[in-house]
């Protein structure tokens, strides 16, 4: 059984992407186009993101995504999209790769 030890601090919609900042400093980014429900959302709907201990939720769009799934590159309803994700940790933020 896998246990998630990280948690989401913030989640925002910006420039066509959902950006989730984790407590560890990691960042998950994905295009709203990767998820059919999010792809049809308005800017207002996409900006209304609720964070729970297990994931993120868009109440007006009736969409929930787990943090474990996001970390695997599963952006909801379309699997295997990991190559489009950007996981950015503190080292990358300082220019170290």
Residue 2: its pLDDT value, please?
A: 52
Residue 76: its pLDDT value, please?
A: 86
**Pair 46, 34: CB distance under 8 Å:** no
pLDDT in tens, 70-93: 988 999 865 444 443 445 444 345
Residue 6: its pLDDT value, please?
A: 86
Q: CA-CA distance, 97 to 73, in Å (whole number)? A: 20
Domain spans, the chain: 8-92
Residue 94: its pLDDT value, please?
A: 52
β-pairing, 27-31 vs 50-51, is: unpaired
State the DSSP H helix or E strand holding residue 77, giving kind and residue range, or none if neither: none
Q: Phi and psi dihedrals of 6, rounded to 5?
A: -100, 160
Tell me what the mean pLDDT of segment 51-74 comes to. Answer: 94
**Pair 30, 14: CB distance under 8 Å:** no
Top-level class of domain 8-92:
alpha beta
pLDDT bucket at 5, cuts 50 / 70 / 90: confident
pLDDT in tens, 16-30: 999 999 999 999 999
């Amino acid at each position: 059984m896998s246990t998630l030890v990280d948690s989401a601090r913030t989640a925002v919609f910006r420039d066509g992407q959902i950006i989730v900042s984790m407590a560890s400093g990691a960042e998950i980014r994905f295009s709203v186009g990767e998820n059919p429900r999010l792809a049809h959302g308005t800017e207002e709907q996409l900006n209304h993101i609720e964070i729970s201990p297990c994931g993120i939720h868009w109440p007006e769009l009736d969409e929930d995504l787990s943090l474990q799934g996001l970390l695997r590159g599963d952006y909801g309803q379309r699997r295997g999209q990991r190559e489009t994700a950007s996981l950015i940790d503190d080292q990358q933020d300082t220019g170290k790769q």
